[in-house]
Structure 1
Amino acid sequence: MVSAKQMISRVVYGSRYDKVPWEQRIYVRPGERIAREIQWRMRLRRAPVITLEDYRKRTDLGEIEEFVTCHMCGDTRQQPLFEPTGGKGKKWTYRVVRCPACGFLYRNPNIRPERLGDLYSNNYSGFLTGNYAAGRQRRYRLTMDAFSPVFDSGYDGERQRRLLDFGCGAGLFLELAEQRGFDALGIDLSPDSVAEANRRLTRAKAYHGTPAEVPEIAEGGFDVITLWSVLAHLPRPIQDFRQFRSLLAPGGVLLILTVNAASLQLKTVGSKWNGFTKNHLMFYSAETMPALLRRTGFAGVAFAPFYGDTIEAGTTKLSEPLRRRLRQSVRAGNGGNMLRALAFADDEAIERWGAGLEVRRLHES
């Protein structure tokens, strides 16, 4: 049965885009991006801005939750936007608000840091190596290619470069890192994931716990730190990123892959966006992430637009004209569904690794 929206689409576009997957269709249909941006601006204009006190009065607080303010700028005002729901029988739901001062999107109430483990199953490694793992290593390779030559080789002359994969899960990336010659370590809070990672690895090593609890990691001196789909899970990002900065050696870089709060898909479907998952807490864009990096001592950041795995791997069924249109649409507002960033610890890192990238400096020289 054809829905009303599908009927309207047929009237406007005909049937020529019916075979294009929806997640690509919104980027390639003429005028679609502009229409969705207008839709987004209208949503923001209609959504009321209220005090934190009023928000507390009208919002239920769960057992493991706490009310928070904007981690990026400290503004206490709330602009409620979304109520994602998921799981069979709508097992979970939460509220997402926007900071009216800086535009940051975050879950509020949020999860108390000491109760973060409640969001994860006991057999989390089973999830990481199951359906979720399909295509993970391909995405890692594509992202490493986007920031070449940072990840081309784990050697700097005869010296082996040190790499830390924070939130390493079952070791899917560590496996690639050791293949490229890095002196690679990983750390994760899931003990079964760490055990699975160490079964997978040959030279790299995964640890259970926090960086401060592992001497080999706490000593720092890392040339590269990676956060693969981790940032949205961090309840105290300022504290974590200060720690990451302290663990980096001079000239070091931090690689981030996370869901993109400026995604055209989010602006299209709202609360049904696939970036709103049960265990995601905060949602960054190319406009809000620099505030986090600036506050925690990083010197610069560069973003690489995310066009989608099949587009970048060359396996898409889209025609070449539609591929070009999709890339143009994504670049126009960095509106891909994932956000890819390379943060530079200092000016030395920018000079060494910033060539060919559009580096945004975060501090005045």
Structure 2
Amino acid sequence: MHWNRESAARYDKWAGSTRGSFALQQEEKLLQSVIAPWPRRKQKLIDIGCGTGTFLEFFWSCGFDLTGMDKSPDMLARAREKIGHRADLHLGSAEHLPFEDREFDYASLMTVLEFVEDPGLALREAARVARKGLLISFLNRTSLYRLSVRLEKKKSALNEARWFSWLEMRALILKNLSPGGIEARSILLGPPCTWNFAPVIRYLNSTPVFPWMGAFTTVRVDLTAPRAQTPLMAWNTEPTT
């Protein structure tokens, strides 16, 4: 799929709408919760497929030292307008990253795997350049959001995308990576017509749910095993009974 100036403008227009801004607010809330165990200060993160920079601003606000990369010059131009010199921006493909092994602490793939030719290769490349962990967000095929998009029956980027179920994404991760741990949750349980700030509906769509339920699912993949919370007891002498 080719992302040009018009498609970049359409995305930013949606992000600025009432529905889009509500959805992004809930997505950022979910991201903040999922990456809570990660340190931020002096940690390098690359946002692969950063698009127009919407999530670059979120990651910068979290405190990461930030790099963004996208294959579309038009998307990167808009990202530069938003993020300025707070992030290094690069042109490149998610399936062939122009970076050294373990160059970053973390890597994110925000609704990117839906649009690449080889999602497994993109995952392996992200894990190659990141030392500690990956953050993967995807459009959930088993959500009411997917059903509403299918019912529209019109040609769009969303209808052309490869939507994943949670089971499919988990299988893809396990096939291509050797994770030390996986945690996943989703948000935006209702269809898009309910994505607004009305009191009862807002609660429905702003509550994190199981990863197979909401429209937007986020997965934290720790590439190293978590530290033990309680150290094993050390014996100076052999224990006696």
**Smaller-chain TM-score range?**
0.7 to 0.9
The residue identity in structure 1 corresponding to 2:143 is S
Q: Which amino acid aligns with 2:40?
A: G
* 1:146 matched to 2:33: yes
Residue 178 of structure 2 is aligned with which of 288, 298, 305?
298
The RMSD of aligned alpha carbons is 3.5
SS, match of residue 219 in structure 2: strand
Of 127, 146, 151, 1:272 maps to 151
Q: Which residue of 2 aligns with 1:208?
A: 91
Shift in Å, 1:308? 4.9
CA contact (8 A) 2:34 2:184 kept: no
Between the aligned partners of 2:76 and 2:9, the Cα distance in structure 1 is 12
For 2:200, what is the secondary structure of its paired residue? coil
TM-score, length-normalised on structure 1? 0.51
**Percentage identity across paired residues of the two chains:** 19
Listed as ranges, the matches of 1:38-77 within 5 Å are none
SS in 1 for 2:167: coil
Q: Which position in structure 2 is the counterpart of 1:107? A: none
Q: What's 1:70 paired with?
A: none
Say if 2:46 and 2:68, in contact at 8 Å, map to a contact too: yes
Any idea what the Cα deviations from partners look like across 1:210-242, whole Å, max 9, x if unmatched? 36564xx33433222112222211221111111
Q: Which has the higher contact order (CA 8 A, sep 6+)?
A: 2
SS in 2 for 1:318: helix
Superposed displacement of residue 206, structure 1: 1.4
1:211-226 correspondence runs (5 A): 212=96, 214=98, 217-226=99-108
Q: Which amino acid aligns with 2:213?
A: G
194 and 269 in structure 1: CA distance in 2 versus 1, 3 angstrom threshold: closer
Does the CA contact (< 8 Å) of 2:31 and 2:218 recur in 1? Answer: no
Which amino acid in structure 2 is aligned with residue 203 of structure 1? R
Q: How far apart are the structure 1 equivalents of 2:44 and 2:228?
A: 16
Instruction: Tell me, yes or no, if the aligned pair for 1:146 and 1:304 is still in contact at 8 Å.
Output: no
* 1:11-59, Cα deviation, whole Å (9 max, x unpaired): xxxxxxxxxxxxxxxxxxxxxxxxxxxxxxxxxxxxxxxxxxxxxxxxx
Structure 1 segments unaligned to the other structure (5+ residues): 1-115, 354-365
CA distance in 2, matches of 1:222, 1:289: 23
- The alignment's TM-score, normalised by the length of structure 2, stands at 0.74
In the alignment of these two chains, the number of paired residues is: 217
Match of 1:281 among 129, 141, 161: 161
Q: Equivalents in 2 of 1:213, 1:319: separation in Å?
A: 41
Deviations 1:268-308 (A, max 9, x none): 6683279x943543221221111111111231321113145
Q: What SS class does the counterpart of residue 283 from structure 1 fall into?
A: coil
Give the structure 1 partner of residue 141 of structure 2. 261
> What is the CA distance between 1:188 and its match in structure 2?
0.5
| Distance apart, 1:125 and its partner CA | 2.6
Task: Verify the 8 A CA contact 2:102 2:129 in the aligned structure 1.
Answer: yes
Quick check: 1:232 aligned with 2:114?
yes
User: 3-state SS of the aligned residue for 1:170?
Assistant: coil
Where does structure 2 lack aligned partners over 5 or more consecutive residues? 230-241
Query: Which string of whole-angstrom CA distances, capped at 9 and with x for unpartnered residues, describes residues 156-208 of structure 1?
Result: xxxx1010101111212212322332110010111022122123223212111
Greater radius of gyration (CA): 1
* 1:302/1:124 CA distance change after superposition, 3 Å: same
Q: 2:15 aligns with which of 125, 132, 139?
A: 132
Q: Distance in 2 between matches of 1:278 and 1:195?
A: 20
Q: 1:347 aligns with which of 219, 225, 232?
A: 225
- Tell me, yes or no, if the aligned pair for 1:265 and 1:273 is still in contact at 8 Å: no
Q: How many Å apart are 1:140 and its aligned residue?
A: 4.3
What CA distance in whole angstroms lies between the structure 1 residues aligned with 2:7 and 2:200? 35
Aligned partner of 1:317 in structure 2 is 199
After TM superposition, list the pairs within 5 Å mapping 1:151-166 onto structure 2: 154-155=40-41, 160-166=42-48
